[in-house]
Amino acid sequence: MTSPGRFAGRTALVTGASRGIGAAIAERLAAEGADVVITARTLTADTPAAGKVSRTAGSLTDVLDRLLAYGGKAAAVAANLADPADRSRIVPDAISALGRPVDILVNNAAANITRRPSEISPRHRATMFEVNVLAPMDLTQAVIPGMRERGAGWILNLSSGSARPAPGPPFTAGRLMSVMGVYGTSKAALNRLSNAFAVDLYGSGIRVNTLEPRGAVATEEALARGLDGVPKDMIEPVEAMAEAAAALCDCPPDRTGLVQVSLDLINELGLDIRTLDGKTLLAAVPDTTA
């Protein structure tokens, strides 16, 4: 059973937290006592940040209401991670809102533009690398000084199974692996960058890891798009990602520099998957032994 309040006294910054996996991780951290700052482009459903119109449901204020219900401190910072100047204020704004440096950084935000590598535009590939690689690097560099000073910190980067090369030839993965190729390339870069930071920071008390889902994550957005045709053993609840993320946001110093798979990590550590408030066992725990 998870320990209520294990994140009490710690602060967290979660990117891409207006919906989906980021919102779930932020809620789990807040439920267990963390003070949390969330960031994304969409501040409110009717007034998106930076003049951008959200294409999917969810906003920072929606999530913020859920976080505040747990009784801790929570704040939202609307920013565009694709813009280096705009994202440069995220950590300072978070520190100001929290009243102290960041203990836990979760780089969850991602740009996934599905185009064949032979056809993708310079603008689209630049956006993916800005959001998926350079933004996590900038935010990590920004939180390191405070973590060094306290001798502890947890940095978690959200990755993807698409970072692994498609097996072959012959290539039987089909069109999906092709149009996900540049996105996967950016996530492969993120995996290597996480490991590089872990090596650089080893011995400082700062842990740096990546976490990827085992399959399709059943977020509200994914369910709305439809998961028909996806094998049941390749679908996991968003609570599983939150469970695994919480474990890596409270891991010992020697668990660092790793690429971890959500359900595999849960099985390795003998964890139960719980609801986002951390109190109730999920009715169905996916089997990863098959």
Classify residue 139 by its DSSP letter: H
Residue 172 scores a pLDDT above 70? yes
With contact defined as beta carbons under 8 Å apart, do 13 and 74 qualify?
no
Choosing from 7, 154, 183, 197, which is the catalytic residue? 183
Residue 283 lies in a domain: no
Supply 10's token pair.
Answer: 């710690």
Name the residue with higher pLDDT: 68 or 229. Answer: 68
Residue 287 lies in a domain: no
Our count of domains for the chain comes to 1
Antiparallel, parallel or unpaired: β 11-15 and 206-212: unpaired
The arithmetic mean of pLDDT across residues 115-137, rounded, is: 96
Of 257, 123, 109, 250, the closest CA to residue 187 belongs to: 109
Range of the domain at 116: 11-164+173-269
CA distance 68 to 56: 23
Residue 237 lies in a domain: yes
Q: How confident is the model at residue 97 (pLDDT cuts 50, 70, 90)?
A: very high
pLDDT in tens, 249-273: 999 999 999 999 999 999 999 999 9
71 to each of 6, 75, 144, how far by Cα in Å?
Answer: 15, 12, 28
Assess whether 183 carries a catalytic annotation: yes
CA distance 186 to 290: 30
Q: How confident is the model at residue 220 (pLDDT cuts 50, 70, 90)?
A: low
Residue 119 lies in a domain: yes
pLDDT computed for residue 55 by the predictor: 46
With contact defined as beta carbons under 8 Å apart, do 157 and 196 qualify?
no
Q: Which percentage of the chain shows pLDDT scores above 70?
A: 84
Of 8, 68, 15, the closest CA to residue 40 belongs to: 15
Q: How confident is the model at residue 178 (pLDDT cuts 50, 70, 90)?
A: confident
Residue 158 lies in a domain: yes
pLDDT computed for residue 170 by the predictor: 86
Residue 290 lies in a domain: no
Residue 285 lies in a domain: no
Residue 14 scores a pLDDT above 50? yes
pLDDT in tens, 154-171: 999 999 988 898 888 888
Residue 280 lies in a domain: no
CATH of residue 37's domain is 3.40.50.720
Q: How confident is the model at residue 233 (pLDDT cuts 50, 70, 90)?
A: low
